[in-house]
Amino acid sequence: MYPPRSQKNRSDKKAVKKKFGRLWITFNTCLVAMIIILISFYFLSENKNTKVALPAEDDKSISDQMSQKKEPANSAGTSEDIPSVSPSEPEGHKQTEAVQPTVNKPETEKKNEAPVEKDKVASKTNKGSKTNIDVSSNKTEEKDNSSKASTTGSTTDGKSLISSGPEKKVLIQFAGDMIFSGKVEDQLEKNGYSYPFDKLGNLFQKDDLTLANLETPVTTRGVGAKNKQFVFKSSPLALDALHAAGMDVVNLANNHILDQGIEGLLDTISYLDSSGIKYVGAGKNKKSAYEPEYVNRNGITIAVLGFTRVSPETSWFAGSSNPGVAQLYEPSQALKSVAEARKKADLVIVMTHWGIERSLKPNDNQQMLAHSLVDAGADLIIGGHPHVLQGMEQYKGKWIAYSTGNFIFTKSSTPATWKTAVFQARCSTKTGCGLKMIPYKAELGQPVPMQQQEGQQLLREMQGLSIGGVRIAPDGTISAK
């Protein structure tokens, strides 16, 4: 007997529905597969073009590196090696400082359109025996041997500041991080480019050598880094006032000098050359970046070098043919450069960028690296990056200032970042280097001397933060046990 027509219709509809269901499932499966393939292809192509980000610090890895480097001058390795550290966030890469990022607005002003206010800042041309400076060196080109200091009198162990014969002395002053962008730039445009130095008077003009960290590219061009929270860009107009105030050498090895790319770095180098300010820690290639700057003061040959252990990514490291910074993640090349400088200079100064932002105490990596740099031949270590002052240490008779804090900077909501100092190193061929600090407040774009009570409190705090029984007298003189 045949089934009723209504039952047959229902069966036909059910079969058709089942058929369309299978087709729909097949279609969706294919669609999902295509989406997965497209997404996979996208990420593969993205990773191919993505720059290598730096992993985090690993206290054990750097300790192991240091323990294997008993003879730093002969250590192998290059600045292009990826640091052998743990795969998390790089030391100091969290830009938590309440800094106002610069607006990358086009700048049309030319360098000669706003001359330095010479009534406010006197010239430094008569400062001591500064006329002895080796002006033949120019890091925009690869330096030739004529720019190097004479190696006469050097030994396999290197030269030493302590020597026989008539006593020679130099006064070296150094300070912390400097930028001229964001809210600082607003102050400069309002009050003039000599504004940061109004409260310093002629302090930097009375010494033999002045050093600080330039935490910004100086350029009117460039494309701001897209992988950073805070991106700086400063006007070339700031450099003339900086030089007129007495600045001699700046460290470019830091985590902001490439904020405007390679174009910004090369512009910075060019503007520094034009202004008469020397630089260390970065260059057109690895040779230039790791190379010391040699100067002669009062018959004493001084070598200055700069290195960083804080960098957003490995592409910032100088290579054999690409511009960048001298890195300290894998320190063999830095130690080798210091050892070579020791053979040619009476006094070797190393400027470093390292540590954790807003941490009042140096970490194990800082101390391990500082000791290794001294072992390689450094006489004085000048640290920066934490944006706060850290204590000092005397190691094998050599002074280490772990962090010099902010100097010319924006003002954050963290009170510890408002405290800074000018450090003085008086070095003699008879007694070595003695250290002293002068307390300052880091106001917005301007260091201001502290009042007596506030200054004494800072000196006591710094004594408490220092390592190995360091004493700081009421006049700021620093001594070790």
CATH number reported for the structural domain that contains residue 445 in this entry: 3.60.21.10
Residue 3 pLDDT level (bands cut at 50, 70, 90): low
Same-domain status, 135 and 37: no
Q: How many independent structural domains does the chain possess?
A: 2
Which range (56-60, 385-389, 428-432) has the least confidence?
Answer: 56-60
* Same domain assignment for residues 204 and 337: yes
Average of pLDDT values for 29-56?
63
CA atoms within 13 A on the CB side of 234: 32
The reply to whether 249 and 309 lie within a common domain is yes
Check whether 154 has a pLDDT greater than 70.
no
Residue 53 is assigned to a structural domain of this protein: no
Answer yes or no: is 12 within a domain: yes
- Average pLDDT of the chain? 82
In order of 146, 211, 273, 376, 404, the CA distances from 279 in angstroms are: 18, 9, 9, 21, 18
| Res 167 pLDDT > 50 | yes
Residue 41 lies in a domain: yes
Contacts for 79 with CB less than 8 Å, ≥ 6 apart: 286, 289, 290, 317, 318, 319, 324, 326, 327, 330, 333
pLDDT value, residue 227: 81
Q: What domain range is 156 assigned to?
A: 61-479
475 in the same domain as 424: yes
CB atoms within 10 A of CB 115: 11
Residues 16 and 164 in one domain: no
Within a domain: 344:
yes
Q: Is residue 335 part of a domain?
A: yes
Please check whether residues 269 and 145 belong to one and the same domain: yes
Domain membership flag for residue 1: no
**How far is Cα 370 from Cα 209, in angstroms, rounded to an integer?**
22
Q: Say whether both 98 and 167 belong to one domain.
A: yes
Do 131 and 42 belong together in one domain? no
What is the distance of C-alpha 107 from the center of its chain? 25
Residue 51 lies in a domain: no
127 and 41 co-located in one domain: no
Prediction pTM value: 0.74
The 10s digit of each residue's pLDDT in 55-94 is: 444 444 444 444 444 333 333 333 333 443 333 333 434 4
- 281 and 391 fall within a common domain: yes
Predicted local confidence at residue 145, as pLDDT: 37
Both 128 and 13 in a single domain? no
For residue 315, pLDDT over 70 is answered with yes
Q: Please report whether residue 2 resides in a domain.
A: no
Pair 142, 188 in one domain: yes
Average pLDDT over residues 216-239: 94
* Single-letter amino acid code for the residue at 276: G
d(CA 464, CA 470): 8
